Each structure stands twice: as C-alpha cells, then as structure tokens.
C-alpha cells in the first residue's frame, strides 16, 4: 500500500498544481470573483490532502502502522470535496455544493483514523 499512496499523492499533487495554474491563467477573466474563490479553495484543499497522502505513504514505508483507511478517506475527500468545487466553479450548478460536505467529512475522518492508528501504535 505504501506505493499506492505515494503514487496517488504524487498524481494528486501534479494535478493540483496544474489545476491551480489553469485557474490562475485560464479562468482568470472567465469566472466571477465568487467562483474564482471556490476554485482556489478546491485547489488549496486538494494540495493539502495530496500532501497528506504522500505522508501516509512514507509512514507506511517506515513503520508497521496500518493507515490504509486514512489514505482511502483522504483520496475520497479530494475527489468529493475538491472535485465538486471544481465542477461547481465551472458550471455554477449549486446543487453540487451538497456533495462538498461529504468530502469534508471524509477529510476529517481520514485525519482521525490516522490519529487513532498513531495512538494504537
């Protein structure tokens, strides 16, 4: 699993940087300030949690700590939270905002699972 989370983290980091650059240069004059802020929030949480995936991959490679569920939850969070915000910013379909909290819950749960694994270690 170490390899999986290092790969996912790396892919999500590269994608986050690309989407950040796309937002800054490709969407600058196309989105309102409100939706540009939503895009930037999506990129921020995307990158922070992709870094979390890299950390989980390193943890798995250096200890016997089982943090698989933390990695799965952070991955789900990136897809649900940031993904729904990216689509919301581009389409302005407000109902997509209902998906975003599910991603937030996945982020929180992932960090709590990581904490519990560390306490049990």
Q: CA 21, 97, 112: angle at the middle one, nearest 5?
A: 85
For 29, the domain range is: 2-120
pLDDT tens digits, residue range 10-40? Answer: 999 999 999 999 999 999 899 999 999 999 9
Write the DSSP string, 55-88.
HHHHHHHHSS---HHHHHHHHHHIIIIIHHHHHH
Work out whether the CA dihedral 3, 50, 74, 42 comes out positive or negative.
negative
92 φ/ψ sector (left φ>0, alpha ψ -120 to 50, else beta): left
Q: Per-residue pLDDT tens for 30-76?
A: 999 999 999 999 999 999 999 999 999 999 988 888 899 999 999 99
**Total domain count, the chain:** 1
Using the predicted structure, report yes or no on whether residue 4 has a pLDDT greater than 90: yes
Question: Among residues 47, 35, 51, 50, which one has the least CA distance to residue 85?
Answer: 35
């Amino acid at each position: 699993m170490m390899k999986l989370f290092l790969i996912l983290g790396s892919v999500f980091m590269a994608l986050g940087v690309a989407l950040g650059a796309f937002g800054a240069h490709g969407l600058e004059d196309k989105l309102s300030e409100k939706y540009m802020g939503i895009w930037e929030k999506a990129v921020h949480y995307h990158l922070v949690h992709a870094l979390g995936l890299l950390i989980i991959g390193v943890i798995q490679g250096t200890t016997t700590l089982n943090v698989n569920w933390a990695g799965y939850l952070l991955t789900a969070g990136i897809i649900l939270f940031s993904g729904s915000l990216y689509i919301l910013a581009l389409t302005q379909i407000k109902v997509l905002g209902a998906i975003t909290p599910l991603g937030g819950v996945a982020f929180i749960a992932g960090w709590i699972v990581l904490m519990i694994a560390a306490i049990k270690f």
